[in-house]
Structure formats: C-alpha cells, structure tokens
Amino acid sequence: MTASRNSVQLIGNLAKTPEFKLSGNGSEFATCSIATNEPVKKGDKWETEAEWHNLVLFGRFANAAKHLSKGSLIFIEGRLKSSKWKDKNDNDVKSWQVIVSDLQMIGGKSSLGNNNEKEEQIII
C-alpha cells in the first residue's frame, strides 16, 4: 500500500456569512468560502491575488459557523473533496471543497460578540 495524505490548512477571510442546509439524514451543515491572498510579482511590481476556497462544515463546526460573518478571519484545517457534474449544456464541471476538521476564529473583535478590543483567538 502506498502512503498518501489529503490535508489542507488555510488562513483567510470569509467572503460572506455561511449558509446553512440540511443533509439527507436531517443533519445541519454549513457552506461558505474564504479568500486567501498571495503576493505575485508582475513586472517590477508586487500585486496581491486572491484565491477562493469553498468550505463545508459539519457537526460542531457547523454550529460554530453560526458565529461567523462576512470578513471573519479564520484558520481551518481539513481535506479536499472533489465533485463532478454536468452543466445545463452537458459540459463536465468539477469543483473542490475543503471538508473542515478544525476551525479557529482569529483576529480583533471576536465574531462571538465579545466587545474586547485586544486580539483574540477562539479555538473550536
């Protein structure tokens, strides 16, 4: 058997407030996306390019996502999962999601409503 590993770690800002849905068995889960920024040299100048990552959160992580909003800075760890389907023109479409297995809210004012101005880290 060949060793393999499917692991992702990201720090980024939420693009919008998470959306909540019910799975086929009635369990609530959340979906959202975060943006990570990478410096890229173009000619003589450095520019920032955003990369977008789709997240899926289950269980306690879905519950924690209720405390997140657009712009929240988070650290996530998880695994990549791909999905394939046909679009309305019968073209193959493939996308990737990160199935979250760890979530930390980081940054200034806590997304949990704490008015403390000092930097804070909340581990879920």
Domain range enclosing 91: 8-123
Give the per-residue pLDDT at 108: 53
| Neighbour-count burial for 15-49, b at 16+ CB within 10 Å, e otherwise | beebeeeeeeeeeebbebbbeeeeeeeeeeeeeee
- pLDDT tens digits for range 4-55: 999 999 999 999 999 999 998 999 999 999 999 999 999 999 999 999 999 9
- pLDDT tens digits for range 57-97: 999 999 999 999 999 999 999 999 999 999 999 999 999 99
Q: Which pair of tokens denotes residue 56?
A: 């899926």
What is the spatial distance between Cα 106 and Cα 73, in angstroms, rounded to a whole number? 6
Decide if 43 is inside a domain: yes
Decide if 22 is inside a domain: yes
CATH number of the domain encompassing residue 12: 2.40.50.140
Give the per-residue pLDDT at 21: 95
Instruction: With a cut of 90, say whether residue 123 has pLDDT above it.
Output: no
Q: Residue written as tokens 């297995």?
A: 101
